[in-house]
Structure formats: C-alpha cells, structure tokens
Copies of this chain bind each other. A is one copy, B any other.
Amino acid sequence: MVTLADVARHAGVSSSTVSYALSGKRPISHETRTRIEQAITDLGYHPNAGARALAGKRSHIIALVVPLHPQVHVPTMMEIAIAVTVAAREHGYDVLLLTNDEGPEGVRRVAATGLADGVILMDVRLDDDRIPVLRAQEIPAALIGLPDDPTGLSCVDHDFATAGALCADHLADLGHRDIAFIGYSSGVYRRHAGYAERTLNGFRARAERRDLRFLHRPCEGTYESTAGTLARILADRPDTTGFVVQNEAAIGPLLSLLRASGRTVPEDASVIAICPEAMAEQHSPRLTSVTGPKKDLGQVAVDQVMARIAATTAGEQPDDQLLLMPPELVVRESTAPAPRRL
C-alpha cells in the first residue's frame, strides 16, 4: 500500500506538506504542489480511510436508515436513497445503509463507534423510538418525515396537509360533491405514519370548508381489496363522482375497476392521485395528480445533516430546520366537471 509518507519521499517534501496539499488547509507553492501531484499519480496514492477517520475524527460517512418492510411506495424510497447517495458524494461523503431491524440500536451503534458522522432517518413515525437515541448521542441528524416533537432536529417532508387540501379544492372547483378518499392500508394509519394522517387531515379540513361530503377508506392496494373498497364506497354513497387515491398500488386496479363498472374517467368519475409524476403519466388516462416538488427530499436531508455536521465541527449549536415542501397540482386527463345529476 502506498502511504502519504511514500508520496512525501518521492516528491522530496515532508509528509505534512502532502497532507496540507491534499486538504488545502494551508497555502502550497505552485511548484511543490505539482511535484506532489506528480508523485501521487506516479505511485497511485489513495489516502487510507481508516487512518483519515482516526486522525481527523470524521469518517466522512453518513448513515441512512431505511424501513425494513416498507409500507411506503418502494420506488419512491429507492429514489430518495439514491438521491441521498449522490448528494452525499458531492460533499465528499459516502452513505452507509442501515435497515430498521437493528432498531434504535443500529443508530446508537454507528454513532457511538464513530462509523458515521451523521444520520438520516426515513419513514419517521410521529413517536419514533430512534429519536431519543439521536438526542442522547448528540449526533447530527436529519429526518425525512415529521415527528411530533421536532425540537433539536432538522426535518424535511412533503406538505401533505396542503396536498390533501389541493385535492379537495380541485374536485370542489369542478363541482363534485361526493368524494371518496382511498388511502393506505389501515396498518399505516394505526402505525401513526405522519404523512397519512396529515394528508387526511388536510383533505378533511378543506373538504368541510367546501361543503363536500366524503368517505375515507383504507385500502391494501391489491386488485381484490381495491375491488372490495370500491364496491363498499359505491354501495354507501352511490352518488360519489370524485376519487382521491393516495395508495400508489391501488391506482391501476381502481382505473381498471371503474372501467369494468361502466364508469368512464373523467366523464362519469374524476380521479386525482397523490403520487409521483412519472406514475401519473403512466396510466391511461393520464392522471391529474398532486406531486411533490422537483428538489428531492433526499437532497435536502443531506444538506441539513451537512449543515449540522459543519456546525458541530465548528463547536456551534446547529439550528433546527423544518422544511415542508409544497406540492403541486398538475391537471391531466382524469378529472373533469362533475356529471349532471340524472
């Protein structure tokens, strides 16, 4: 293995000079700098990560904790994970993947051993048991999701309440009066996943203000459960003309079932989905949707941890950030004015 000392010898300088040349923490004359660079490529030097972590007290690694049995949409999760990884690299950081089966202990472990300089938590529950660990370890952290007490933490999430409200407004504007909200499986609501509750609350509040009658139905998302859900909705409220879907998996089945029941979208029924754009574009008809912002949550979370790491390194108290990113309503082909009552 080629060490920094080897490079120093080859370039005829001291090892500290090489170190500083690499870190840029003090000025180096143009000449010695080029000699050092030459030596580095000649020898094929790569700094040793372990030694760097030991001496520098920073591992240049952040941990990303992903849910083990994701109730959330997996591709969305993966997209965030990838965005985190790419964004971290731009800060010279690598990403350690942790699954939630280690539980809070996993977070404690990577923090206490110094394996990670910071942590990003996905799929945060309102009362999340990993949060006390973050506080106790005083490790820089960012949450993707919103716990019920975010003090001392940086958080980022979609503004799901607004997303719900946008759906209600859009359907109300089109003259729909009876709306069905098809949500995630009931387990998600029971687990107190914040996003599900917040969407529903935002929708409910706006729906009431706009004098909408509505039904909320959890749904597993399989074809059969969606069929059951839809049947119950139509039995309970035959006049339902507007559908809001938050369960990505239920979208395909729902469209299929509406068609099968003789209802044409959007002439007989309007459907609005809370989902990524790509998914909205993929269906037929293309779906009117409420979608998160362009700038990825993962990217924001990385910026937040980096800010906290920087502050901690500087001996300062990092300040808490709380970012709820506004969603956008994109009108496509699946919503239209409510049909006239017969």
Q: Which of A75-83, A125-133, A303-311, A319-327 contacts B (4 or more CB under 8 A)?
A: A75-83
Number of A residues whose C-beta is below 8 Å from B?
Answer: 55
Q: Beyond A75-B75, A95-B96, A252-B252, is A66–B82 a contact (Cβ under 8 Å)?
A: yes
Q: Which of A16-24, A46-54, A146-154, A176-184 contacts B (4 or more CB under 8 A)?
A: A46-54
Chain copies in complex = 2
| A317 part of interface (Cβ distance < 8 Å) | no
| Pairwise interchain contact A97-B113, C-beta atoms closer than 8 A | no
> How far in angstroms is the closest Cβ of chain B from A65?
11
A283 to B253, CA, bound (A): 9
| Pairwise interchain contact A94-B75, C-beta atoms closer than 8 A | no
A260 to B262, CA, bound (A): 11
| Pairwise interchain contact B284-A113, C-beta atoms closer than 8 A | no
Residues of chain B contacted by A101 (CB below 8 angstroms): 86
Chain A interfacial positions (CB closer than 8 Å to B): 1, 44, 46-54, 59, 61, 64, 66, 68, 70, 74-75, 77-78, 81-82, 85-86, 89, 94-99, 101-102, 109-110, 112-115, 222-224, 227, 249, 252-253, 255-256, 259-260, 281-284
| Pairwise interchain contact B74-A112, C-beta atoms closer than 8 A | no
| Pairwise interchain contact B112-A46, C-beta atoms closer than 8 A | yes
| Pairwise interchain contact B102-A89, C-beta atoms closer than 8 A | yes
| Pairwise interchain contact A46-B113, C-beta atoms closer than 8 A | yes
A162 to B6, CA, bound (A): 53
| Pairwise interchain contact A50-B46, C-beta atoms closer than 8 A | no
Residues of chain B contacted by A78 (CB below 8 angstroms): 70, 74, 77-78
What are some 24 contacts across the A-B interface (CB < 8 A)?
A1-B114, A44-B112, A46-B109, A48-B54, A48-B113, A48-B114, A49-B114, A50-B51, A50-B53, A50-B114, A53-B53, A66-B82, A74-B74, A75-B75, A82-B99, A85-B97, A96-B96, A97-B97, A222-B281, A222-B284, A223-B282, A224-B284, A252-B252, A252-B253
